[in-house]
Chains A and B, each alone.
Chain A
Amino acid sequence: MREQILEILRKDARTSSEMIADLIGSDAETVAKEIAEMEEEGVIRRYKTIIDREKAGDERVFAFIDVRVSPTRGVGFDDVARRIYRYPEVHSVYLVSGDYDLRVVVEGETMKEVAFFVADKLSTLDGVLSTQSNFLLKKYKEDGDIFDDIEEDTGRLLIS
């Protein structure tokens, strides 16, 4: 039941409890209760809107910063990661396998702002060995949503 509710809400967070109940063959009260419980437990953290920033005229820039870190005894990478993610400029932080340890997504008004943030704040942190900045040029798909507008007119017949 939870899995089904989450799947529906992931696609459209505004789906009503009544509609979810109809879709999965339950009743609205049970669904509402289950959602409330998941909100309580932090399974559902909050509801956001997916915005096509480009269309919204938002000119902010994003960069993916690959950070190499020397882990600290006892806390591993957590300590550095926590220092990084507290900055509001930091959009996401992931610990990843491969040549780098942390993948940090930074947003800013301009490229210069982001570059300065990396030079001033990120690379100077204790434990940070190196950084490599990759600026986002075009977003094709994010979190399952395609931002690349291509016409897909299927031409399906209305009666068949």
Chain B
Amino acid sequence: MKPISQTVEHYPPSGIRKFFDIVSQMDDVVSLGVGEPDFVTPWRIREAAINSLERGRTSYTSNWGLLELRRVISRYLEGYSGLCYNPENSVLITVGVSEGMDLTMRTLLNPGDEVIITEPCYVSYKACVELAGGKAVTVEAKKERDFVVDPKDIEAAVTDKTKAVLVSYPSNPTGAVADKKTLREIVDIAVKHDLYIVSDEIYDRLVYDGEHVSVPTLPGAFERTVLLNGFSKAYAMTGWRIGYAAGPTEVIKNMMKIHQYTMLCAPINAQNAAIEAIVNGAKDREDMRREYGRRRRVIVKGFREAGLDCFMPGGAFYAFPNVESTGLTSEEFCEKLLFEHKVAAVPGTAFGACGEGNIRCSYATSIEDIVTAIDRIKAFVAGLK
């Protein structure tokens, strides 16, 4: 057979999956490696989906997504952050933020266009840029700044090829939340150099100290920002694969073109479930947030007691402790921790080379498991000395 696409053939698989095969072969592993809520989707949402199936709602929807869903999202965004998106042509229902990110990059980029990405970051960003023919220019978010990027580093990375800057706070894998001042400075840079902003705000509802700042609300940002969000994290709906993109009509309209040819529409049942989530899911969402917020304190305290440096993450459900004091690399630490003490975590390097020295630990797991994992990590670290 002729060889498949060179680009794809040589493209590295996601580093996040590296331990997956090993872990699934082992018994009694406590996993801090899970990047999704440990809650089941709230019953009211599941029930709404069951009801919608019983009523026979199993067809295609508009390529844009159900108008009712776009309307409730538009109303929700207006109430939540004061943003006004026309549900008719500025909101597109996607198959999760993953699809939204892919569509955004394919819509914005010409071959060779550059996108500035802050690492450590979620594994798909670079891939979406590169598979769309763009060039990912990475900027490091430094430990000293608790993994909030320094806008000066973004400005330094701007070239005449730069097309967009990708922002994602609260951050997966670090749990960092950017303050308003930093975000404003990033927006100012985008305005000055006429760049698009792509803001992945999937963890916006999981912020524990203070309020989330939505990027398009900042002066000058609205007309140049593609806002990506979804239901996976806030409403524990990862497997439904449902999200949305909101932004300038021209961009969203063109994203819709790719979407209509590749995806046609997001699954109708997930769309109906999402309507229930956004209309009646606030209490369930808030209950889960409070629970994560509590676990966060327990896990961070545990790492510190174990002798690992760990900053208090402001959002998402990840802690990003530093393991350099053990003399091990992130990968060595995670491997030994898994084989010798049966705790799974993801090396920071899976999220970019600058993640070296840190490990991603999800606290979207029961408090009992967190306590067990911390006990094992304490024993592990103590044994290394």
Contacts and interface: CB of A to CB of B under 8 A. Distances in A.
Nearest to A155: B239
B16 interface: yes
Size category of the binding interface on chain A:
10 to 19
Given A152-B40, A154-B40, A159 B297 contact: no
A45 to B, nearest CB: 25
Nearest to B345: A159
Most buried by B among A19, A24, A156, A159: A159
B34 interface: yes
Given A154-B40, A159-B344, A23 B34 contact: no
Contacts of B344: 158-159
A158 B36 CA distance: 10
Given A159-B344, A160-B16, A23 B298 contact: yes
B33 A22 contact: no
A69 to B, nearest CB: 36
Sort chain B's interface into a size bin: 20 to 34
B243 interface: no
Contacts of A22: 297-298, 301
B274 to A, nearest CB: 20
Interface in B7-53: 16-17, 19-20, 23-24, 29, 31, 33-36, 38, 40
B298 A158 contact: no
A25 B290 CA distance: 12
A26 B105 CA distance: 45
A160 B24 CA distance: 12
B249 to A, nearest CB: 34
Contact of A24 (B29, B35, B294, B301): B294
A158 B26 CA distance: 11
Interface string A110-152: 0000000000000000000000000000000000000000001
B346 interface: yes
Contacts of A152: 40
* Leading 8 A-B pairs by shortest Cβ distance: A159-B33, A23-B294, A158-B31, A159-B20, A160-B35, A158-B23, A22-B298, A25-B297
Given A22-B301, A23-B294, A156-B34, 11 more contacts: A19-B298, A19-B367, A23-B367, A152-B40, A159-B19, A159-B23, A159-B31, A159-B34, A160-B16, A160-B20, A160-B34
